[in-house]
Amino acid sequence: MRTYDEVVGFDYTNAEEWRSFVKNQILPLHKSISKIVKLRKSLEELLSNNISDLIRNNTNIKQILLGGVDENGDYKPNSLARMYMEFLGVSINTKEWVSLSKQPGIDAAEYIKCKFANSSFLQFVKEIREIIDRLLSLAEISEEEVKDDEIRDMLENPEKIVNKLREIYTRLIGLSANHSYYTFFTINTRCIPRYYIEQAYPKLKDKFEEVVLVWNQSSFPM
């Protein structure tokens, strides 16, 4: 009878195997998410008070708020500003901007305020980061700090957010049960009786209680 021991290709009873998985596959996702979260925080701090001067004089900020906006104030396909609005929740009233800009003697920048919404994407990645924080603590692995230079680079090159978002989605897909035997194991052992678990994963027969203890301390109990 074939078992998952012949398929998964790693020792699921070995704490160091799991620690290596967390360090090499989950920690990079934490760093990618932290960059996006810190970028949003930096934009909120930056645009809460100085938006008038920034939108006049900073081309990069103008791209973040108005990149890909047409003459009617609508977002064009693949608009950079729309991406910042939908993913980071950072936006201005683009129609108001266009309307004010068309009026003689009016400096539209003086009347524009930035809105900061808690987008569904931000909520999603923050929840993932909270789960990863618990896993990092369990594995005794320190998170990687996001340096100010990394955020400055993104602010100076706002189109790089596309690569950062792609990076997050790629890492998430790589951690799905369809792509990761580690994830498959944690899901596959959650809702079936012990007898069937031990039949599928023979190594657990001698270490079942030990492995259960570890997972009960994590966010993914067996």
pLDDT at 215 over 60: no
Domain ranges of the chain: 1-31+128-222
What single-letter amino acid sits at 195? Answer: Y
Cα Dmax for the chain:
82
CA distances (Å), origin 1, targets 6, 146, 182: 10, 48, 22
Confidence band for 216, pLDDT divided at 50, 70 and 90: low
How far is Cα 146 from Cα 169, in angstroms, rounded to an integer?
19
220, 212 contact by CB (below 8 A): no
Q: Average pLDDT, stretch 123-146?
A: 93
How far is it, in rounded angstroms, from Cα 22 to Cα 145? 16
Q: Tell me how far apart the alpha carbons of residues 122 and 87 are, in angstroms, rounded to a whole number.
A: 7
The Cα–Cα gap between 176 and 168 comes to: 13
105 to 55, 100, 101, 110, 122: CA distances (angstroms): 17, 10, 9, 12, 39
| CA distance linking residue 43 with residue 41, whole number of Å | 5
Percent of the chain with pLDDT over 70: 89
Token digits of residue 208: 């079942």
Per-residue confidence band for 18, with pLDDT thresholds at 50, 70 and 90:
confident
- Burial of residue 18 (CB within 10 Å: 0-12, 13-18, 19+) is buried
User: H helices then E strands: how many in the chain?
Assistant: 13, 2
- pLDDT tens track for 155-209: 999 999 999 999 999 999 999 988 998 888 888 777 777 777 777 777 776 766 6
pLDDT band (50, 70, 90) for residue 38 = very high
CA distance 81 to 210: 51
pLDDT (tens digit, 9 = 90+) per residue, 93-124?
999 999 999 999 999 999 999 999 999 999 99
Residue ranges of alpha helices (H) inside 48-144 are 51-57, 59-66, 80-83, 94-101, 120-138
Does residue 42 have a pLDDT over 50?
yes
pTM to 2 decimals? Answer: 0.86
